[in-house]
Amino acid sequence: MADIPDYIGPMAMGLEMGVIVPGIDIVDEVFESVKRCYDDDLLDDNDIVCITESVVARAQDNYVTVDEVSNEIRDELGLKKDGTIGVVFPITSRNRFSMILESIAGAVPDGKVVVQMSYPCDEVGNQTISPDFVNDLDKEVITMDDIHEGVCKHPITEVNYIEYYKGIIEDAGAEPKIVLCNDPLHILDHDPDAVIAADIHTRFDTKNTICQKFDNCITLCELFNEGESCSDWGLLGSNMSSGGRLKLAPRDGNKVVKDIQKKVKDELGVQVEVLIYGDGAYKDPTSGIYELADPSVTVASTDGLNRFRRGVKYKFLADTLYHEGKDVDEIEEILQEKKDSNKSENAIEREGTTPRRMEDLLGSLADLVSGSADAGTPVVLVKNFLN
């Protein structure tokens, strides 16, 4: 249908939408955006509709309060208000972790919160302490007494997250203790009543290591992973919101993407794939920060995207065929044949083309197009990606 020249390859277009507020039917809203593309001859079979997780969760009113999180932490871990809780390997992010830490401290307002941070960076590349200072200090466990002014200032935000997190705990009434150590078992030296493995991508390894010595340990995924307000990721993937609330990642994501896919097919006769995306999986070369602060790029996707994207090494083949004396027309014909063929993963034609999950590529692409600031395009239409 789309009047796009056949020399145009994969492309992504951000689609503007109105403000999404709790209670809006997100399936209908996304459909209306897609329908505008259809009406303008910009929609085809095999197009991919990508929706940022934030508008889905907001439409679902998928929020929890700080007090609700404090109560769940206390109940889940059997804590008393004067207990001691250990928190291992949180990321240094005001948006992602500050309100979670406020909730953790609120669970033990008469007790102690021991935060153990990794160094010199958290798991996604945020600097926690100057690497040069760490090398000069040459200690496995770094305490507040070891640190002087300036060495813990984040090079991008210029925030001292150790002092910032310390203040959050104190404001909740609890006693703070912050240490830096890369061995998760060090937290047990502080005699906690319970431990939360607060890391994202390494959370299972961290929890398993701690649980070899100590039973009362959970990950953030185990909090608010069921109930009226919940997410498959629990508190991971949550963001700071207003009014003392955290916005969770969407719930029932698979139902949402399938409902959108079905509505587009039933009403427009077009077969699209649909995914809900969070953070893209890429590393900023300037700051060294790995942007993926969600457990996964994709919250949910339709079945047609549940595969790897594979291809042939065009550069290698073109060079080889040219040196064999083939002309341009012959090379292009052979390249197309190779592209359409079913080569094994270890075939030389695939050399250098690492298989990547389709959802990761699409979610990262959509995240770059939509951004997280003022783009105003929470839906991204991707064309010619599956062809």
Q: Do 329 and 210 fall into the same domain?
A: no
The CATH number for 29's domain is 3.30.1330.100
On whether residue 101 sits in a domain, the answer given is yes
pLDDT of residue 177: 97
Chain mean position to CA 2 = 32
pLDDT of residue 59: 96
* Widest pairwise Cα distance in the chain: 80
On whether residue 159 sits in a domain, the answer given is yes
* Beta pairing, strands 48-52 & 379-383: antiparallel
pLDDT of residue 372: 60
The CATH number for 115's domain is 3.40.50
On whether residue 237 sits in a domain, the answer given is yes
* Boundary of a domain, candidates 214, 230, 247: 247
Q: Do 88 and 200 fall into the same domain?
A: yes
Chain mean position to CA 18 = 24
The segments of the chain whose pLDDT lies below 50 read 343-352, 373
pLDDT of residue 373: 46
pLDDT of residue 325: 75
On whether residue 6 sits in a domain, the answer given is no
> For residue range 5-60, what is the model confidence (pLDDT) as tens digits?
888 889 999 999 888 999 999 999 999 999 999 999 999 999 999 999 999 999 99
Sequence-separated (6 or more) residues with CB below 8 Å from residue 236: 200, 203, 219, 220, 221, 249, 294, 295
* Beta pairing, strands 112-117 & 84-88: parallel
From CA 304, how far away is CA 358, in angstroms rounded? 9
* Boundary of a domain, candidates 228, 247, 266: 247
From CA 38, how far away is CA 377, in angstroms rounded? 17
Q: Do 230 and 330 fall into the same domain?
A: no
* Boundary of a domain, candidates 247, 268, 283: 247
Asked whether the CA dihedral 345, 348, 354, 359 is positive or negative, the reply is: negative
On whether residue 111 sits in a domain, the answer given is yes
On whether residue 93 sits in a domain, the answer given is yes
Q: Do 107 and 15 fall into the same domain?
A: no
Q: How many CB atoms lie within 10 A of CB 241?
A: 17
Q: Do 106 and 55 fall into the same domain?
A: no
Q: Do 280 and 328 fall into the same domain?
A: no
Please state the domain count of the chain.
3
On whether residue 362 sits in a domain, the answer given is yes
Task: Using DSSP, state whether 339 is helix, strand or coil.
Answer: helix
- Give the bridge partners for 356, in sequence order: 309
Q: Do 51 and 129 fall into the same domain?
A: no
**Tokens 């948006």 found at:** 95
From CA 289, how far away is CA 280, in angstroms rounded? 12
On whether residue 334 sits in a domain, the answer given is yes
Q: Do 108 and 217 fall into the same domain?
A: yes
pTM: 0.87
From CA 173, how far away is CA 111, in angstroms rounded? 8
Residue 165 lies in domain: 63-247
Q: Do 101 and 214 fall into the same domain?
A: yes
**Could you tell me if 66 and 246 are in contact, meaning their C-beta atoms sit under 8 angstroms apart?**
yes
Judge if the upstream peptide bond of residue 120 is cis by omega within 30 degrees of 0.
yes
Q: Do 211 and 82 fall into the same domain?
A: yes
* Beta pairing, strands 217-219 & 239-240: unpaired
Sequence-separated (6 or more) residues with CB below 8 Å from residue 93: 126, 293
What are the angstrom distances between the C-alpha of 44 and each of 47, 268, 385? Answer: 6, 10, 12
Rounded to the nearest 10 degrees, the angle between the axes of helix 253-268 and helix 26-39 is: 40
Dihedrals phi, psi of 69, to nearest 5 degrees: -65, -40
Strands (DSSP E) along the chain, which ranges?
A: 11-15, 48-52, 63-65, 84-88, 112-117, 142-143, 175-180, 194-197, 217-219, 239-240, 245-247, 273-277, 298-301, 308-309, 356-357, 379-383
Q: How many CB atoms lie within 10 A of CB 175?
A: 15
Q: Do 214 and 363 fall into the same domain?
A: no
From CA 135, how far away is CA 115, in angstroms rounded? 22
Q: Do 161 and 274 fall into the same domain?
A: no
pLDDT of residue 351: 46
